[in-house]
Amino acid sequence: MDAVVMAGGMGKRLGKNEKPLTPLYGKPLIQYVLEALLGSRNIERIFVATSPRVKLTDEWLDDFKKDLDKVEIIHTQGAGFVHDMIATVEEAGIQGHVLIMMADLPLVTSGLIDRIIEKYYEVKTPALSVHMKLDVFTSLGLRPDTVFHKNSDFIVPCGINILDAGSIHNEQEDYNLILEDEELAINVNSPGDLDVCEKVIKKKR
């Protein structure tokens, strides 16, 4: 399966110029995501979607991928998440299934990515979206932007989806995979999110 990392956003809420390059323990956020994908046994190629707003990220990626055949950059128009995602899938020539992931999920591991992909093959729906129970967010002191009600519970989308690339323009039947791994809860959008992320990493170390 190929992966697309969406990395074209600014870090205005973080107080940074480019969100993907926001430093976390000496590494930019996007490096954590790329290393997790590179370590996955189920990911073949990795396409990073950038935009005209992240010129420094483009430069960093050019250097990072020098010796990595699996990583490629796709320059999008920066016309919005869905538009840029579709454009990336089409320009990359991706066939079959594609994992879409945000560049601001630094705690996601290779093992977690593999679990998500293996569950996708098991459920056999065209699409899969990863969610977490709201309780995990609140236990970490996080306040997510989007919350859904499902099966008498509250869930939060985590920024990881798997889609059928051949039907990328169409709405696809979607399986909601609900997990409780706190690594998925920390989507870094604000200084508070970054503080929580640093605390979780420090605790694990």
pLDDT tens-digit readout, 59-70: 999 999 998 899
Question: Who contacts 173 (Cβ-Cβ below 8 Å, separation ≥6)?
Answer: 125, 126, 127
Q: Burial code of 175-187, b = ≥16 C-beta within 10 A, e = fewer?
A: bebebebbbbbbb
Average pLDDT score, the chain: 90
- List the structure tokens of 115: 């679990």
Torsion sign, CA atoms 191, 192, 197, 202: positive
User: Model confidence over 118-173: pLDDT tens digits?
Assistant: 999 999 899 999 998 888 888 777 777 788 877 777 888 889 999 999 999 999 99
**Which domains, ranges and CATH numbers included, belong to the chain?**
2-204 (3.90.550.10)
